[in-house]
Structure formats: C-alpha cells, structure tokens
Structure 1
Amino acid sequence: MIDKVLILKSDLNLLVLPIGSLPSWVQSIFERFGELNGVADDAMKGDVDALQKLKLIRDESGVSVVFLGLDEDGFDDKFITCGNSLSKDFKVLSIGLDEDTKIDGKVKDEVDGNGFYTDSSVFEYKGYKGRPIFAVEVTNNTKLDQFLTNLSTPQNEVTVAPSVLDLLKLKNNEASLFSYSKMYLDWLMKNQFCPGCGSKVAPIDAGTKLLCTSNPKEVDCPVKRTKVNNVCFPRTDPVTIIAVLSQDGKKILLGHNKRHRKEFGSKMFTTVAGFMEPGETIEESTTREIWEETGCKVSRIKIMKSQPWPFPACLMIGCFGYVEFNGVNEKINLELDKELDECRWFDVEDIRKLAFGESIEGLEMVQDITLPFSGSIAFELIKAAVAPEKSRL
C-alpha cells in the first residue's frame, strides 16, 4: 500500500494534492511497480531473471513512481528532511481505506469527518515515522488518469492547475514539491533506453536511478563495464541568472526577450540568464552571459541564492553583477547573440517603486514595462537588488 501519493502529470495540465489510501485496483498498479525495488539488488549483481523482471514491470505498469521523502510530523514543523514546513491547507484525501494493508511496517490511519487524514496518521518503519510522499506519472494510464481527474471537485478539495503559472500561486514548499516531482518524472519519461547499449532501462532505488536491463551474457554494455557506476542518475542543468547593477547601485540593467509576449500592452523586462558551459565557474558563466546578451562588462560578481526550475531540470543560480561605468563597460550591444530585442539601464528607485507596488505616476521609463512574476527567482533578484538596504551591495 502507498500511504500517500502526489500526482503530477508531466504536461502540467493536472496537479493533484497528496491522496490517501486508494481503491484496490489503483493500489495494485503501484504495488506492481513497487516490485522493482524487490529485485533491484539481484539485478545489480547481474541476475538474468531479475533483469528480465525489471524490464517487464516497466513495460506493463504504464506509470512511473518516485519516492520523494517522508513527512515526519504531519505537515507542521518538518517536511521530508530539509526542515521546511508545509502549510496546514496541504490536505490529504482518504479514499477506500484498507486497514489490513501494510508495507513492511504499519500504517496508523485516522480520518476526520470530511475524509481527510488527521495529524496522527503516520507510517512506521524501523524507527522512522511519517507520511511517505510519492510522485506518480499517469499520462500513459488512461484509467488512472481519468480516476484522478474525477477527484478534482470542490468537495474533495483536489486542485487542478490549468497552466504552469499556477505553480507560482502555491506556497514555496508546495511549489518545491511539485518542482522536485516534475524533474524526476520528466527524466524517467525521456530516458527509456541505456545510453551505452540501447537496451531498456528500469527505475530502481524508489525511482531515483535507472539500471540497464541487458543480459550481461549476451550484451557487452559499456555502462555496466565501468567500475564506479553502472546506473544512470538524473541530470541537473545549472543556469546563472543575474541582476546587473552599476557599481554605485544606482542603476539596474533589465532586458526584454524576443520570446516574451506583451501582457496588456506592456513588455516584461527581466534579468539576464543562461546555461553554464561545461567546465565554467559560476563567475565565468555570469560574466560571459552578461556580455553576450547585453554587451556590458562586469567587474564584480556576488552569488545570492539558488532555485530549482523544473522546466525541465534546471538549477537557477541567482547572482548580482556589478558594472563600473567608465564610458565603455556600460555600453549596451544587443548584436552579439541577438537574444534580447530591447535592453535599458533603469534608475534603481524607479524599479523599486514598480517592484514594491508603489505609485509610478510620472516615471516615463517604467510606464510601459512589467516585471517577472512574484515568486520567481528573477523577481526576487530584482526586488533584492533595488531594496533600500545597503547590504545588497
């Protein structure tokens, strides 16, 4: 039995909050997939029967499952293992409760009058207590997909998110949970075959690794031949995102990307961003991206904060870049990689009023622009860069 499931369709058309005990036919789907871990150790040792079973389970299940972690105290003080809190409105729906079902341990279930788990509902295993949380890809299972879609009613309080922008409406930890799920599910969807020999791969270790299922007696797989690692792990693509300021902190450089459509007659001006090249340091990548997109040359970089961005598997590394105005460094040139169609140096005070929702009446430079969505790292960087505190410099 899976005590709790977080459902996320990879195309982001359906976001469903954690669901409690499921009807038996739904449980059987996940239990079948759960057999992967039962044979993973033997498969890692090259057992042919175990490898074949891994292959068959992935082919037949129609779903991908990833264990995200254990909520240890009822969505209150701690979430999984990172010490963050989930909000009290992150409810758990109980459906078809089966008191006799266990997973190598015991699940204590208490449900209130509305069908939601109470804080005392926990899963116990070898001294660990809490609620297991899983991400499940259901796109290839029509029956399960329809079942979850039908749950999205006001009575069940299950949420359907019609677009990716709805993630920005979630509180930080809930959004992080969906981001974590999206990155793993996207990786599982795109990686069906071994990069070394082309054989089918199967997820092991609760969906966080992929093992080649080739028969070692028939296929000489170069991935399996390595001494250190014979499995595939998810990749993370580092991206630097930079709020560019003048050295004295009075000016901020923002640009409009050609890909961004106008919203209500305004253009969205945002920070500079780009993927890191292999072997680059964060400082080198930041300096290069600023020059490529804007033509400006920075003299100092300050790393501020990072944020996962699951489209598909990025880690956004937020920085400040400082330009010393000398008649050359601050000159804008958009002809290098032609990613921006407009770029301007703004007065920090003007952008501060826009970012903090103050009146911008009479401020011509910011009348025709909008900033990135609140909650995005781009907006948070801009807001921090233009905040009145001197500590930002």
Structure 2
Amino acid sequence: MTDIFFGTTTTLNRFSFLRTNDDFISKTILDPLSPARLVFYKQDGKNGIHPYMIQRDGKFGMLNLQLNTLPSQLIRILHDWSMKNSKKANDLRDDVTLVFLGLDEDGLDEKYLFNDNSLSGSFIYPNSYKLKEYPQFKYDKFQGTPYYAIDVTQCQEFQTYLSSFEDVKTVNNMMSILTVSKNESSLFAYSKMYMDWLMRNKFCPGCGRQVIPVDAGTRLLCKTPKEECPVKSSAVSNVCFPRTDPVIIVGAVSSDGKKILLGNNQRHPAGPNGKRMFSCIAGFMEPGETIEESTLREIWEETGCSAREVKIAASQPWPFPANLMIGCFGIVHFDGVNEVINTELDNELADCRWFDVDDIKTLLNGGELDDVSLPMEGSIAYELIKSLALGKY
C-alpha cells in the first residue's frame, strides 16, 4: 500500500533539521539563482484555507511557481519575510506566511531519502507561465529544489497577480482536489496541514497573546516572558507544533476469510445513481489507547461485532483538516455471537452488512451489486477492502 492518495512517497525530502537554520532559509529565498518554488493558499473568511489550483481538461493541479519568475514587487515581499523570519519579528504574519516544506531531490544523482515519484515533474502550469531553468540549490552537502507553501490572505499584491492567470483559482471542493495526481496530493496534504494549523492558531493558549510562526513556519513562538505564560513555564509543552489526530480505519473480516464487514455511514446517503458507499469502520483514537485497543473498540461500538485479532496494515494522511488514518485488519471469529451486527450502540452507521468476498470482488472488477458502491480507488479504505478480498492480510 505504498501508492495511497495523500500518502504517496515523492522525491521531496523534508530536511526538517534545516528549518531552524536561518542562514539556509534566507539563502533559499535571497539567492537570485535559487530555484525555490511556491504553492499558494488563501483563507476564505469562514475558518477555512484553500489551495490555488489550475483547472484543465476537467482536472485540477496545484499551482506551483518559481520564486524568481515573480514580479519584482512580490520578490521584495518574500525578501522582507526572510529578514523577519531571521529576526523572529512580531509582524512576521503581516504580509505573507511561509512554511518551508523541504528540498525536492528529483534529478539528483545521489538522493538522501527517496528516489522515485518525481514531484517537480508532475506539475502542470498556467498557459501564460514560462518555467525557467535554474541550477540545483546547494547548501553545505545538501542540494535540491526548495519548496515553500505560502498563505497570501493578507497580501493583495499576491492575490492580484495570481488572479491574472485565467486558468487559476482557489478550490475548496474536496472532489476537485481528489482529481490531482497522487504526487501532488501528497504535497497538498503536507502543506495544507501546516497552513490550516497556522490559520487556526494565532494566540497562545497559556497567556492569550499573539504567537508568531518561527522555524520557517513550523513552530509557534509566544514572546511573552516565561514567568508570565503558563505554557512557556511548563516542563513539557506540546502546543508549539502542529497537531495530527490519529484515526483508526479497519477492514473487518471473518476468520475464514469468506466475509467482509462494511458499513454505510449516516453522512453518506445514496447518490444520484441510487448507490450508497459501504466502507471500512473508522473513528478517532482516544487518549491512553493503543492502536489495537482502538481498533477493537471501534468495531464493537459501530457494528456490535467483537474482533479478537488486529493486524496493522498501512497509513494515510487525511488533510481535512489534519488526520492520520491508521489502517488495520480486524479478525472476527464467528461463533453465533461475535458476528451479530448491532448498529444502535453509537448510531453512526445507517446500514452494516457482512458481504461475501465474491461479491466484493465483483465490485472491485467494475461490476454491480444492488445499491452498493465502494470508496474511491487509491484511498486506504479501498486498499484495505481490496487486500481482504484477495486474502492479502
């Protein structure tokens, strides 16, 4: 399950230890030969932040522009951000907010981390945009193409420039986002989670004063003196970094492998074709819970069935807003009690059924089955169901 939507591994290496290196960050922005690239976001005023995307032939791609191809007044804004970032200035958020995403190692002879799935090679560009060739950025022994996410909500100059591309717009529809390439979907998940976190966290939960995003946008800093802020004075604080919420998603199967348990959530009524999506069981992990305990609990709470074995399979980032889906298999031993369905415990499912494996294979092969449809291909739910149907678990 290495090719999952939002979770496909690309040639982007995060180089997280370089986020705190102000000299490195400044040079990726200020060097006139830096091939740094930007992906763009804008808030919509309704506590949401959305990407700028290109629409072409019914599909979408993330807008991705080189820093040094921008108009000079926009480059100056980015240079100002670089200086403010180095100084940890109080007005760091006033114009634009940037997050350093990493170096794309695509095309390098020697890569530190990942080798396939070209990130830069997967993009489409606005019709009127001219991509330029730059040498790879080098710093110490590290090299690649620097990538940044940028929130332009407070900067009218950037918004005016981006609106000049006739095939570019902000997109807030999940189904449109799901049409991007899998490589781009990974970049979207990564950058969107940071952008969303920065948008929602502007004040210190300890003292209520404003915080600024330091370490190239990846950590929040409260500049209140330590003795005046209970968060800063605590022995351990976990409010300065982005939050990721773990979610269990489990494909439940009978111990003989002949039946698969799927549910239709109350939130997913029948579509125009009369089909209802039946998917895996899913729910948030709770504090103090292991993955295995959470899996068994979610199966029982949603379906009434009791599993006794758990196998961890794979994971998928889910940027709506900041979840990590932990895919598992739950084995149910039929005994006349364990497999009995009861959806009235938490009333989350509108319907729940044990499906014959052969019927699931029919759906996977494009066939029809009454009012039933499966999750989108490439999602971890689809991959879990597929693995169960093929006996690969």
Task: Specify if TM > 0.5.
Answer: yes
Distance 1:146 1:73, change over 3 A: same
What secondary structure sits across from 1:85 in the alignment?
Answer: coil
CA contact (8 A) 1:7 1:136 kept: yes
Which piece of structure 1 moves more, 68-77 or 15-24? Answer: 68-77
Partner of 2:105: 72
Is residue 2:60 matched to residue 1:25?
A: no
User: Number of paired residues?
Assistant: 343
8 Å contact 1:239–1:276 — kept in the other structure?
yes
In terms of mean alpha carbon deviation, does 292-301 or 170-179 score higher?
170-179
Confirm or deny: 8 A CA contact 2:74 2:157 kept in the other structure: no
Q: Secondary structure at the match of 2:63?
A: strand
| TM-fit CA distance, 1:196 | 0.9
Q: After alignment, is 377-386 or 80-89 more displaced?
A: 80-89
Any conservation in 2 of the 1:12–1:164 contact (CA below 8 Å)?
Answer: no
Letter in 2 for 1:132: P
> Which residue is 2:174 aligned to?
164
Bigger radius of gyration among the two: 1
Distance 1:383 1:160, change over 3 A: farther
Cα distance in 2 between the residues matched to 1:8 and 1:233: 20
Task: Report the counterpart of residue 25 of structure 2 in structure 1.
Answer: none
1:255 matched residue in structure 2: 263
For residue 254 of structure 2, what is the aligned residue in structure 1? 246
Q: Distance in 2 between matches of 1:226 and 1:17?
A: 41
Q: Secondary structure at the match of 2:311?
A: strand
The residue aligned with 2:146 is 132
Deviation of 1:94 (Å): 12
Q: Distance in 2 between matches of 1:302 and 1:377?
A: 15
State whether structure 2 residue 208 is matched by structure 1 residue 185.
no
Give the equivalent residue in structure 2 for 1:281: 290
TM-score by length of 2: 0.80
User: 2 CA distance for matches of 1:327 and 1:262?
Assistant: 31
Question: Which amino acid is 1:298 matched to?
Answer: A
- TM superposition shift of 1:162: 5.8
Deviation at 1:380, TM superposition (A): 1.4
Q: Judging changes above 3 Å, is the alpha-carbon distance between structure 1 residues 75 and 169 closer, same or farther for their aligned structure 2 residues? A: farther
Please, which of 92, 96, 101 is the counterpart of residue 57 of structure 1? 92
Residue 335 (1) aligns with residue 373 (2): no
**Does the Cα contact within 8 Å between 1:303 and 1:320 map onto a contact in 2?**
yes
Identity of aligned residues (%): 48
| 3-state SS of paired residue (1:284) | helix
Quick check: 235-244 or 140-149, which moved more? 140-149
What whole-Å deviation, never above 9, does each CA across 1:227-267 have from its counterpart, x for those lacking one?
55597011110000011111111101111111113222111
Name the CA distance, whole Å, in 1 between partners of 2:347 and 2:105. Answer: 49
Question: Which residue number corresponds to residue 144 of structure 1?
Answer: 158
Picking from 381, 386, 390, the partner of 1:383 is 386
Go from structure 1 to structure 2 and tell me whether the alpha carbon gap of 1:231 and 1:251 turns closer, same or farther (over 3 Å shift).
closer
Structure 1 segments, 4+ long, off by >4 Å, are 74-78, 80-84, 91-95, 158-162, 227-231
Does the C-alpha gap of structure 1 residues 77 and 297 become closer, same or farther in structure 2, counting only changes over 3 Å? farther
Q: Which amino acid aligns with 2:187?
A: L
Query: Aligned to 1:273, what secondary structure does the other structure show?
Result: strand
Q: Which residue of 2 aligns with 1:116?
A: 131
Unaligned runs of 5+ in 1: 41-53, 96-113, 361-365
* RMSD of aligned Cα (Å): 2.6
Using CA pairs under 8 Å that are at least 6 residues apart, name the structure with larger relative contact order, 1 or 2.
2
Match of 1:110 in 2: none
Q: CA deviation at 1:382?
A: 1.1
Instruction: Tell me the residue number matched to 1:86.
Output: 118
Tell me the SS of whatever aligns to 1:187.
helix
**What's the offset of the Cα at 1:144?**
1.8
Deviation at 1:226, TM superposition (A): 3.2
| CA-to-aligned-CA distance 1:256-306 (integer Å, 9 cap, x gap) | 111113222111111100000001000000000111100000011110000
* Equivalent in 257, 279, 301 of residue 292 of structure 1: 301
Whole-Å separation in 1 of the counterparts to 2:166 and 2:159: 12
Q: Which amino acid aligns with 1:275?
A: F
Q: Cα 1:254–1:84, aligned 2, differ >3 Å: closer, same or farther?
A: same
Query: Taking structure 1 as reference, are residues 275 and 84 closer, same or farther at Cα in structure 2, changes over 3 Å only?
Result: farther
Amino acid of the residue matched to residue 343 of structure 1? C
More moved, 231-240 vs 198-207: 231-240
Q: Which residue of 1 is the match for residue 353 of structure 2?
A: 344
Deviation at 1:39, TM superposition (A): 1.7
Cα offset, 1:29, TM superposition: 2.4
Unpaired stretches in structure 2, ≥5 consecutive residues: 1-28, 31-35, 43-47, 54-61
- Partner AA of 1:178 in structure 2: F
